[in-house]
Structures are given as structure tokens and as C-alpha cells.
Structure 1
Amino acid sequence: MKFIDKWERKYGRFGIPNLTVYIIVCYVIGYALTIINPSLLNWLSLEPAYILRGQIWRLVTWVLYPPSTAGVLWFAIAVLFFYYPIGTSLERTIGTFKYTLYIFSGILFTIIGAFILYFLLGGNVLVGSVFSTYYISLSTFLAYAMCYPDMSVLLMFIIPVKMKWMAVFYVVIVAYEMIQYIMAGAWYLVIPIVASLLNFIIFYFGSKDFSRYNPKEVHRRNEFRRAMEPRGRTGSGGGALTKHKCAICGRTELDDPNLEFRFCSRCNGNYEYCQDHLFTHTHVK
């Protein structure tokens, strides 16, 4: 989206670095509340009926609801070994400002969806219980899968599955749920799903915005850039020769002296990658 690029140039300083960490902290607080005193969450939910009566804190506090209230072990695995690496990697890939905008637009669309549902049902029904952060977290996963479709993860720590197939699986499940709700006459339950995933629909299907971050596309652009550069590689520090350069993001040791670089033995050719892309890039055959 060109207008988002313009926003980034103008308002990029408002991006929140390490936003994933703050989101996880919210989830941990919410999960702790479900253990200590679940009734407290009733005062934090996204409930338009109460918000219109002056309880405006609910516009913010509902993000404390964790995506899942499964056991402590599964919650820790989901947060630390799945959501955290995906969120931080997506932020590095698309940039802090775009990632911040992506997350906050998902939150905003969910709030708008809650009010739409509230008024569609006559304005006298409590709807807060059907709105949570689950589908916002799912939208983050889908965005990551579009950026790294061929990256493999270990399902149940055993079975290697590519991200694109996991994304397809979740999309099928969500579509099935929506069809079931409609057939059962509970069409209103579709609104929370669509509202929470609207940021992904707009960012990706509306403009293919994430396609530019696909490792194959990034590698193609870097190959073209290297072909057009004069002999000797230059870093962002201005003209000085560099020893290392990532074939995906183009960063050198001048960008960050703490970066580590390695050559990939599975790629055909001498392709060097930084520590963030060594295990996530698509191998060149």
C-alpha cells in the first residue's frame, strides 16, 4: 500500500519497538487473572453496553484476555516458542511502524466489530464474551506465513510442517466455523472473526503488501541490486567496504556490529545470511 509507505515516512517514529513483548506481558497478566480471580475479567471485557455507560477503560483492557486459557504449560509454549518468535520476526521483516499499524488496526477493527454487533442485535444484548485476542494473534500468524511460506516448524515438536500448509489449515478451520455459525442461525458470531482478521484481509488480499517480504522476492531484489553496484560492497555507514552482507535483508556489519553472518551450505552458490535469516530463508537451488 503506497499510502502506508507515505505514513511510514511521515509517522515512522511512532512505531513501537518490541511490541510483541508488550502484547505478551498483557497476555500473561490476563492469564494470571484467570487463575487468581476470573471474575475480575468481567470488568475488563470489550462490552459496548458498559462502555456507552462510561466504562471506557474496556476499550483498552480487553487486550489482557489471552488467546487461550489452556494449561500453564501449553500457554507458555504458545507464547514463548510460537507467538514471540513469530511476532518479533514479523516486526523485523515488515518494519516496526508497519507491524505496529498491523496490530493496532486489528485491535481497532475488533472494537468497531463489537459495536456493530451490539447495535445489530438491538442494543440490549451483552456481546463482550465473543470478542477476544485469539483471531488477532491468528492474523499475526497468517501474515508471518505469507512472508515465510516455505519455512518449516515442528508440529508437536516432532512433525515438520511448512508454514503455508499450517496457514491453509487454520483458514479452513476458520471458514468451517463461520459456515457452522451461519447454518446454526448464529450469524452474528461471524462478525468477531471477520473484524479481528480484517487487518490481514486489507493488508494482504487488498494490496499484496506482504508479498514484497517473501524471501524469494527479497533475494531477487538483492541480486539485482548487487548486479547494479560497482565492485566492492558498501554498507549503510557510507561508502566503506564491508566483509559481510545478508542476501535477504542486505544488512552488513556496519549496520549492527553485533550481527553474526554465516554461509548456507544448502544453497547453490555463495549466499551469506545474517543470524535473523540463516534458518528462515528459502534455499537457492
Structure 2
Amino acid sequence: MNWLDKLERKFGRYAIRNLPLYIVMLYAIGAVLNILTKGSYYYYVALNPYMILHGQVWRLLGFLIVPPNASLIFIIFVLMFYYSIGESLVQVWGAFRFNMYILIGVLATIVASFIVYFIYPSTMIFMDTFYLNLSMFLAYATIFPEMRVYLYGILPLKVKWMAWFDVALLVWQFVVGGLGARIAIVVSLLNFLLFYFSSRNYKKVSPKEIHRKRAYRKASSVASNKPYRHKCAVCGKTELDDPNLEFRYCSKCNGNYEYCNEHLFTHTHVK
């Protein structure tokens, strides 16, 4: 990902270390406020473009304390799960790339809310970190598809199946939802789409690479049909594989066993 490499060289030193821990701490604060206010705090911090344009600018960051929708009993397990996901992504990407992923996700969520608001100004819009959390989970599932998690601590499920379920749900919402819902889904998940497609290796499907593979297979097929005179009894190489190889028979082996110069003195004698 060249664009990320360039950004990391310039701004990598400014990356927030232990960002997954800070994210979970913000969610913990939101969970406490949820208990103390019986859920009413949500309407004072949720991302609402109308309120922001009328002076409540704290909502641009306030929505980050809204935790994943979970009951009080499971909130601790949910926060531990999200912390584990964040730490795993940091281990794979590094702190800077994880910072960029979260930053793009936050900015995309804000942009999505304003786009929907300007399309439907009469609709009261409240957005939180739902799509941000979903994009983080999808990134984790893309990297660790075979990882198992225990639903409610009992039912083992592979992460990839949970991710496919979330994708199916998003597709359904995209199909049955209106224009505003579609814009919110696409823009809010921009960070996942950006990271996913920019990390793909498109070289292997380029016409030049396809031509090279076909030529190699054709040359290999022709070479495999040629008769060989010498073959190593250990590695199976012949003079067709490497014309620089030398072959000798071993006088200590019981039978006519021929070896290349790499295995002539290291093979186990046949008795």
C-alpha cells in the first residue's frame, strides 16, 4: 500500500500508541453514562448534523463514546472482544495503519451523516459507532477468518461466518433501504473498502503476468516430455532441471543409484 507507506514515513511518529485501549475506555465511559442516565445520554452525544450546525459541535467527537449495543451483563465481554480485535490489527498493521483505519472510519461516518442530512433535511438523523465497529470487525475477519469466538461464551463460531452474516445483513439493508441508507452504508464503510482493495495483489491478474504463466507452463510441459539420462535418487532432479548439475553413482549403495553433486556425499546408503 504505497500511499500508506508514504504517509507512515512522514507522520508515523504521531501515531497514537495503545489506541485500542483508549477506544475501549471511551466505550466504558459511555456504558457508565448509559447506566446513570438510563440511555438518555445518547440523544446528547449521538452524531446529529442538524444539532451540530446549530452549535452542538461536541457531537463531532461525542458519538465516539457510544458503546456497541449490548446489555449490561455482556458489555464487559463485548469491550474485551473489541480490545482484542484492535490489538490484533495493531500487531498486523502497526500503530500508524490502525490509527489511519480508525481516523478514516470516523471521518467517513461524519461525512455520511451530513450527506444523508442534506438529502433528507427534514429527517432527524442520529448516528453512532455502529458502522465503525462493523468495519473494524470485517477487517479482523479478513485477516483472521479461521479464528473461533464463543457466542455468549458457549457456541463456537468461526469469525468468517459471523462476518458473512454481517455482510448479508448490510446487503439486505442496502437493497431494501432508501438512498440515504445506501449512502450511509457505503461511505461509513469507506475505510474497510479502501484498505481491502488497496491491499489486493492485482499483479497476478494482469495480462503480462497471465502471459508469463502460460509461457512457463508451456515450457515446463515441453521439458517434461524430453527424455533424461541422469536422475538423482534423493531429490529427483535431472540434467533437464539444471544443466550445471553433475551426477555420480555411489559405489557403497547396493544397486545402481545415481546422485546429484548436492546429495552424493550426504545421502543414506542403500543396503
Per the normalisation by structure 2, the TM-score is 0.69
Q: If you compute each CA radius of gyration, which structure gives the higher value, 1 or 2?
A: 2
Letter in 1 for 2:77: I
Corresponding residue for residue 200 of structure 2: 208
Find 1:126's aligned residue among 103, 124, 144.
124
| Counterpart mapping for 1:84-163 below 5 A | 84-121=83-120, 123-127=121-125, 129=126, 131-163=127-159
Deviation at 1:157, TM superposition (A): 2.8
Deviation at 1:2, TM superposition (A): 0.5
Name the CA shift for 1:158/1:41 in 2 (closer, same or farther; >3 Å).
closer
Corresponding residue for residue 213 of structure 2: none
Deviation at 1:65, TM superposition (A): 1.2
Query: CA-to-partner distance for each residue in 1:131-159, whole Å, 9 max, x for gaps?
Result: 11112111111111111122222333334
Letter in 2 for 1:97: F
More deviation, 39-48/139-148:
39-48
Letter in 2 for 1:125: T
Name the CA shift for 1:150/1:39 in 2 (closer, same or farther; >3 Å).
closer
Deviation at 1:199, TM superposition (A): 0.5
Q: What is the CA–CA distance in structure 2 between the aligned matches of 1:113 and 1:71, rounded to whole Å?
A: 27
Letter in 2 for 1:100: N
Where structure 2 has 5 or more consecutive residues not aligned to the other structure, the ranges are 202-271
Q: What is the CA–CA distance in structure 1 between the aligned matches of 2:118 and 2:142, rounded to whole Å?
A: 35
What SS does the corresponding residue of 1:144 show, helix, strand or coil?
helix
Q: What is the CA–CA distance in structure 2 between the aligned matches of 1:18 and 1:58, rounded to whole Å?
A: 24
Kept in 2, the 8 Å contact 1:49–1:124? The answer is no
Corresponding residue for residue 176 of structure 1: 172
Kept in 1, the 8 Å contact 2:20–2:83? The answer is yes
Find 1:194's aligned residue among 153, 163, 186.
186
Corresponding residue for residue 7 of structure 1: 7
Taking only aligned residues, the RMSD between alpha carbons, in angstroms, comes to 1.8
What SS does the corresponding residue of 1:114 show, helix, strand or coil?
helix
What SS does the corresponding residue of 1:39 show, helix, strand or coil?
coil
Query: CA-to-partner distance for each residue in 1:94-137, whole Å, 9 max, x for gaps?
Result: 0000001001110000000111111111x34321x2x1111211
Number of residue pairs the alignment of both structures matches: 200
Corresponding residue for residue 210 of structure 2: none
Corresponding residue for residue 77 of structure 1: 77
Deviation at 1:61, TM superposition (A): 0.6
Per the normalisation by structure 1, the TM-score is 0.66
Letter in 2 for 1:72: L
More deviation, 46-55/90-99:
46-55
